Amino acid sequence: MSKLMSAIKVGPYEISHRVVLAPLTRMRAEEGAIPGPLMAKYYAQRTSKGGFLIGEATIAAENGNGYLGAPGLFNDSQIAGWKLVTDAVHAKGGKIFLQLYHAGRQSNKDVQPAGSIPVGPSEVLHGGVAYTTEGWVANTPNRALTIAEIEGLVESFRAAAKRGVAAGFDGVEIHGANGYLFDQFLQDGSNKRTDIYGGSFENRARFLLDVTKAVISVWGSDKVAVRVGPSGNWGDMSDSNPEGLFTYVAQQLAPLNLAYLHLIEPRIAGNIEDETKDQAPVASQLIRKHYKGLIIAAGGFNGDSAEAILNAGDADLVAFGRHFIANPDLPERLRNKQPLNDYDRPSFFGGTDVGYTDYPTYSEAKAA
């Protein structure tokens, strides 16, 4: 009996299997960071009856973007576009969470309002790229946020979460991973602050926890989730004690009774396997000791390794990124042990329907 294919309750929702669509930035939004019919088609293709999907990183504040073509919910004009997506998912019997994000220092002034300088916890020079009208370009050195601005961002996330209700989502995941703003506050390679947002674990986790509580005030705790990447180094990230830091974060999130905690295995740096690191899943194993609620594991899984981590009890669901890009019917393929389409990396970020909505299902591929 496959655990991967067994039902589970996520928050208030009965989910029919545990193959989750990972949040995947694809940069196909229309002018104004507004989702259009193409995005709705893409999500509908990846919806199975009773399946669980997480939407791509969605900009929560006007100065929160790092990628031209990424969608937003930082103003009301973006709600109707998202409603196309959530309606399409619901029509096929799926559930979809909104992923809210802020790129922080991982940005370039060309994707900032009025060409302003990107913001982050501290002024720390770093590598990393943004996507602008000029293509992939180096990030613009950022300035440090003031305390008043940080408090303002908490309100931006609360407002975006409210728009998520209007847009028809089923819940919200806060993107605390992959070197974006929350991760920049959490890890001490990027956070050099000496105020209440820097120094101790408690201070570095404050922004993430404040935003989590603000989003809970809108949605209720069982429809809110957090994603973190323990030991993630994507975006030039580093921490002097990642095990201690992420254990602390899990311990603080545990009593909030979230829908789930979403963990990225450190063997994946952003979307590339990091061959210098241990290839076994370790993040969920560590965090499970401190977190008894639902855990979604992500990063480098296939059907067999997903089944194994569920059977070991270290995670409750598994999110798939690249395999789900290339296989719109991934849950069915894993259920039937059918071969998978290969993914085409050059079409991951931006472009048209090519490499986006034109991957065939198993039966389409067989018929061709």
* Residue 89 beta carbon to ligand FMN: minimum distance, rounded to whole angstroms: 17
Of 20, 139, 130, 127, nearest in space to 70 by CA: 130
Distance of CA 80 to the CA centre of its chain: 21
> Which residues in the 216-255 window bind ligand FMN by CB under 6 A?
227
Distance of CA 316 to the CA centre of its chain: 17
How many residues make contact with ligand FMN (CB under 6 A)?
23
The residue whose two tokens read 């009890």 is: 313
* Residue 330 beta carbon to ligand FMN: minimum distance, rounded to whole angstroms: 10
Q: To the nearest 5 percent, what fractions of the chain are helix, strand and coil?
A: 35, 20, 45
> Which residues in the 108-137 window bind ligand FMN by CB under 6 A?
none
Rounded to an integer, what distance in angstroms lies between the CA atom of residue 156 and that of residue 62? 9
Rounded to an integer, what distance in angstroms lies between the CA atom of residue 308 and that of residue 332? 18
> Cα-Cα-Cα-Cα dihedral of 40, 45, 49, 51, to 10°?
-80
- Which of 15, 18, 23, 185 is close enough to bind ligand FMN by CB under 6 A? 23
Beta bridge partners of 95: 52
Nearer of residues 39 and 144 to ligand FMN, judged by Cβ: 39
Nearer of residues 119 and 226 to ligand FMN, judged by Cβ: 226
* Residue 10 contacts ligand FMN per CB under 6 A: no
* Residue 177 contacts ligand FMN per CB under 6 A: yes
* Residue 106 contacts ligand FMN per CB under 6 A: no
* Residue 347 beta carbon to ligand FMN: minimum distance, rounded to whole angstroms: 9
The 10 Å Cβ neighbour count of residue 153 is 23
Choice among 43, 67, 101, 180 that is catalytic:
180
- Which of 120, 164, 266, 299 is close enough to bind ligand FMN by CB under 6 A? 299
Stretch that binds ligand FMN, among 83-91, 264-272, 276-284, 332-340 (CB under 6 A): 264-272
Stretch that binds ligand FMN, among 5-13, 155-163, 244-252, 296-304 (CB under 6 A): 296-304
* Residue 35 beta carbon to ligand FMN: minimum distance, rounded to whole angstroms: 13
Taking only Cα atoms into account, the Rg of the chain, rounded to an integer number of angstroms, comes to 19
* Residue 266 contacts ligand FMN per CB under 6 A: no
Residue 56 C-beta-side C-alpha neighbours within 13 Å: 28
The DSSP output letter for 300 is S
Cβ-closest position to ligand FMN? 321
Stretch that binds ligand FMN, among 105-113, 235-243, 295-303, 305-313 (CB under 6 A): 295-303
* Residue 160 contacts ligand FMN per CB under 6 A: no
Using an 8 Å Cβ cutoff, are 59 and 65 in contact?
A: yes
Of 169, 205, 187, 183, nearest in space to 58 by CA: 169
Distance of CA 134 to the CA centre of its chain: 25
Rounded to an integer, what distance in angstroms lies between the CA atom of residue 75 and that of residue 50? 30
- Type of residue found at 296: I
The burial of 168, by beta-carbon neighbours within 10 Å (0-12 exposed, 13-18 middle, 19 or more buried), is given as middle
Nearer of residues 72 and 321 to ligand FMN, judged by Cβ: 321
The DSSP output letter for 111 is G
* Residue 56 contacts ligand FMN per CB under 6 A: yes
Q: Token pair for residue 343?
A: 């993914």
* Residue 135 beta carbon to ligand FMN: minimum distance, rounded to whole angstroms: 16
* Residue 39 contacts ligand FMN per CB under 6 A: no
Nearer of residues 144 and 178 to ligand FMN, judged by Cβ: 178
* Residue 302 beta carbon to ligand FMN: minimum distance, rounded to whole angstroms: 9
Q: Is 13 a residue of the active site?
A: no
Q: In the complex, which residues of this chain contact ligand FMN (CB under 6 A)?
A: 22-25, 56-57, 99, 175, 177-178, 227, 264, 268, 271, 298-301, 320-323, 348
Q: Which residues belong to the active site? A: 180
